[in-house]
Amino acid sequence: MSPTAHLTLRFAPHRVNGWFLRLFALPYARVDGREHPCRWGEALTLDLAPGSHRLESFLRYRGTKAELGTGSIEFTAAPDDDLQVTSRNGWANHTPFVPRLG
């Protein structure tokens, strides 16, 4: 079994519009082209192969397919890395969810 890296992603909506987003939108992540539905207040944990990766975070209003507020980050994962990412937006609904390592 080859060593893997671990990615943990959390969405943290801004306190001004977070109540609205929690009621009417759902968060999503796309890692290397593969989409993952997420939940407010819960972490998404994925195993990754070592190497370069691209993470996009966005939301969709319930019942729609449009991706809104998309932000992205590219990163390199080493074997056994435990990467923590938080995706935050700004106070306005049109600001993207920007994922940050740390």
> Domain coordinates of the chain in residue numbers?
5-101
Question: Could you read off the pLDDT of 61-79 as tens digits, one per residue?
Answer: 999 999 999 999 999 999 9
Torsion of CA 52, 56, 57, 60, to 10 degrees: -150
Q: What is the pLDDT of residue 94?
A: 78
Give the CATH architecture of domain 5-101: Sandwich (2.60)
CA 30 to chain centre: 7
What is the average pLDDT value for the chain, to the nearest integer?
95
Question: Can you tell me the distance from the alpha carbon of 8 to that of 87, in angstroms, rounded to the nearest whole number?
Answer: 11
Q: In what order do the strands lie in the sheet with 5-12?
A: 44-48, 5-12, 82-88, 98-101
Q: Which two tokens stand for residue 9?
A: 């992603």
Predicted model pTM: 0.92
User: Is the distance from CB of 11 to CB of 100 less than 8 angstroms?
Assistant: no
